[in-house]
Structure 1
Amino acid sequence: MTSNIWKNERLPSYVELKARTDAPAESAWGLFGTDDQIGTVNLLTEEVAAEAATLVRKGASFGLDYELNAFKPPVSPYRKTLVHCEVCRLDGQVHDDYVNDFFPQAGSHIDGLRHHKHSVHGFYNNVDEFLVGSGTPDLGVQQIGRRGMVGRGVLVDIGRYRLSVGRPLDLMTGDSITLDDVQGAVNSQGLKFRTGDILLLHTGWAEHFLGLNIKDQQDLIAKRTFCGLAQSEEMLAWLWDSHFSVVASDTVAVEVMPTVPTSPFDRNVRGMMHPDLIALLGLCLGEMWKLDDLARDCAADKIYECMLVSKPLTLVGGVGSPCNAVAIK
């Protein structure tokens, strides 16, 4: 296995990645170049963007991010809610904004490739951890922000599928979404994936959470029980073998919390797939995206694909960014 596989327009399967000896097993290191900084976002080529533009049929657009201070209290106890302190008046006519406690990952966001390192192998593509710091460019979200992300968004409506088969998602618990659930929804929608697709997993969790009263929100945050993908090697293999450029959901962490008891990722914090997805495979994750309006429209017209544009902040050394995403159908 060599570092020019992607240049030869061939990506290895997850089984092949497991057999690597020239890089950590189960990793995509080197596939996009030894100095690559953006991982699977490389799959969003000019050709992919041009093809995505042909999906605009009726001109309807759907913003995929909630207001910057919508999640208050923040779901993560380590983050704070943005405060719009004041509108500054300059010279009596000119106005500027001043905000405080801006945590880019406190709401609808994209996690960059420095968000997680692997407990054994470190950061994506063997980037030295001493280069990952405040203001340093390595693996910073600006690497993605400079180019933006334009491609075919494909919505998989897990929430509606689980309801249709008589097993509605419990949005107040850590209800796990199995690979069978995902594939069942995919088949029911008649979807076919293409290399570089931006996967949008709709559950209804974010809209549900924001509709709760403050006490119920606080209780849910304290319990740390959030629905999401069940951790398994089969799930990881499916996400890689589908060759998605980005995987985004309207849930807290894309994957279920707490992790399932059978999680094989005991080398990772709490058995999460995050380090394997981000640090080994170079796959950016989107979390707490606003997908309900888009999902309702997809359910109405049975068209689950769209042109999707996301423009992360060009914050040098940033770990993540508001997703600044829009779907156009």
Structure 2
Amino acid sequence: MSKKIIFPAFDDLPAVVGQPQGCLWGFFDNDGEKDELGTLNLLTNEIVKKAPEEIQIGKHIQLDWPLNNIEFPGFGRIPCQHNIKDLGPEGFIGHDDELYINTQTSSQWDGLKHFGLQKDGMYYNGLQHENATNTGIMGTHKWCDRGGIIGRGILVDWLSWWENSHPGQDPPSAISSHPVPVSEVEEVLKAQRTECRPGDIFIMRTGFVRWHNAANVATRKLGTYDQHHMIGLANNEETVRWLYSKHFSAVAGDTMGFEAWPYPKDCCLHEWLLCHWGTPIGELWDLEALSEECKSQQRWSFFFSSAPLRVQGGIASPPNALAVF
């Protein structure tokens, strides 16, 4: 898609029967064909052409955490299993890799079929649960078909901002359900002098990866398996309206859930982002080296690329994400 996309104000969006005000079902449909890309449609040719302007020194950083870093995944998920196969019995000197993973147990993109509307049993654009399960509709391969995810990324380094604003104090625990309000996100953007642009990939650092890297085994098990409390963006209407007003193509963070978890009954950002808007959510990204590079350059925007795994009907994928300065 190359034409400029014009959004109505949140309260002026056409009503969608049975869904809250602000739902984007049908907004990106084209000539009667149901859209399967959601806000990735914002990555128009014009937006992508401008993104390389962020490349000034050639420094590049991968944002994927090691696939096997979570030893104790929760929610019934398996840890990564990596087997190195010796090719000697096949008559060769060499090796193969064999990987068995759950895509949720390290850096990932949540696809549009990962988390549905819990009351309605539906996904983005009204896709029914049974169709999401039994067909390739809205799989992550659709992102690959359009050439992956390329654009301008911005880091909102909330953790560094918080520590600078509260010297001598420990930040809120990464394994608490501490909600980060958008008022603080705005303060971070102001302190960084970072401008949000339509189509940006919004990435927020709150400290989970740093916590996990430093924690002992028992504490890691507590935080990822025994309980499911996660720091993240606040789940409320103010956050929903703020995110809509910025028109990000995708969002990501370094936590297991992006938003604060558990979420309240009246608002869940996973439902708003994945289901109502079709916005991919990145989780468990390693933003530590990215944070240091941004501080070094005093610049928190960069060229961003991601090539998800090309799996037909995929639910989620390692991001294979790169930031280039």
Q: What is the TM-score of this pair, normalised by structure 1?
A: 0.89
- 2:15 maps to 20
- Which residues in structure 2 correspond to 1:50-199 (within 5 Å)? 50-74=49-73, 76-89=74-87, 90-100=90-100, 102-118=101-117, 119-120=119-120, 122-133=122-133, 136-146=135-145, 147-166=147-166, 168-199=171-202
For 1:29 and 1:13, the matched residues in 2 are separated by 15
For 2:197 and 2:68, the matched residues in 1 are separated by 35
Q: CA RMSD in A?
A: 2.0
CA-to-partner distance for each residue in 1:134-159, whole Å, 9 max, x for gaps?
5x210111111232000000011100
* Structure 1 residues 8 and 69, CA gap change in structure 2 (3 angstroms): closer
* Structure 1 residues 162 and 127, CA gap change in structure 2 (3 angstroms): same
For 2:43 and 2:4, the matched residues in 1 are separated by 16
CA drift of 1:171 comes to 2.4
For 1:157 and 1:280, the matched residues in 2 are separated by 26
For 1:232 and 1:272, the matched residues in 2 are separated by 8
CA-to-partner distance for each residue in 1:175-214, whole Å, 9 max, x for gaps?
2211111111111111211110000101221122122111
One-letter amino acid of the counterpart of residue 317, structure 1: G
For 1:42 and 1:314, the matched residues in 2 are separated by 19
Q: Which moved more, 1:7-16 or 1:26-35?
A: 7-16
Q: Which moved more, 1:6-15 or 1:37-46?
A: 6-15
CA drift of 1:239 comes to 0.8
* Structure 1 residues 109 and 230, CA gap change in structure 2 (3 angstroms): same
Three-state SS of the structure 1 residue aligned to 2:133 is coil
- 2:270 maps to 274
* Structure 1 residues 129 and 170, CA gap change in structure 2 (3 angstroms): closer
CA drift of 1:9 comes to 2.8
- 1:325 maps to 321
CA drift of 1:311 comes to 0.8
**Gaps (5+ residues) in structure 1?**
1-5
CA contact (8 A) 2:3 2:44 kept: no
- 1:41 maps to 40
Name segments (4+ residues, structure 1) moved above 4 Å.
none
- Which residues in structure 2 correspond to 1:156-305 (within 5 Å)? 156-166=156-166, 168-221=171-224, 222-259=226-263, 263=264, 265-266=265-266, 271-305=267-301
For 1:316 and 1:21, the matched residues in 2 are separated by 29
One-letter amino acid of the counterpart of residue 122, structure 1: M
* Structure 1 residues 21 and 124, CA gap change in structure 2 (3 angstroms): closer
CA contact (8 A) 1:154 1:304 kept: yes
For 2:18 and 2:151, the matched residues in 1 are separated by 29
- 1:3 maps to none
For 1:15 and 1:22, the matched residues in 2 are separated by 15
CA-to-partner distance for each residue in 1:94-143, whole Å, 9 max, x for gaps?
4321223x111210000011112222372111223322125x21011111
- 1:32 maps to 28
Q: Which moved more, 1:45-54 or 1:226-235?
A: 45-54
For 1:140 and 1:70, the matched residues in 2 are separated by 26
* Structure 1 residues 318 and 242, CA gap change in structure 2 (3 angstroms): same
For 2:120 and 2:136, the matched residues in 1 are separated by 23
For 2:8 and 2:271, the matched residues in 1 are separated by 20
Residue number among 288, 302, 307 corresponding to 2:303 in the alignment:
307
**Gaps (5+ residues) in structure 2?**
none
CA-to-partner distance for each residue in 1:216-252, whole Å, 9 max, x for gaps?
1112231322111111111011111100000100011
Q: What is the TM-score of this pair, normalised by structure 2?
A: 0.90
For 1:204 and 1:225, the matched residues in 2 are separated by 13
CA drift of 1:272 comes to 2.7
For 1:99 and 1:22, the matched residues in 2 are separated by 43
One-letter amino acid of the counterpart of residue 328, structure 1: V
Q: What percentage of residue pairs aligned between the two structures are identical?
A: 29
For 1:272 and 1:9, the matched residues in 2 are separated by 26
CA drift of 1:297 comes to 1.0
CA contact (8 A) 1:88 1:97 kept: no
CA contact (8 A) 1:23 1:29 kept: no
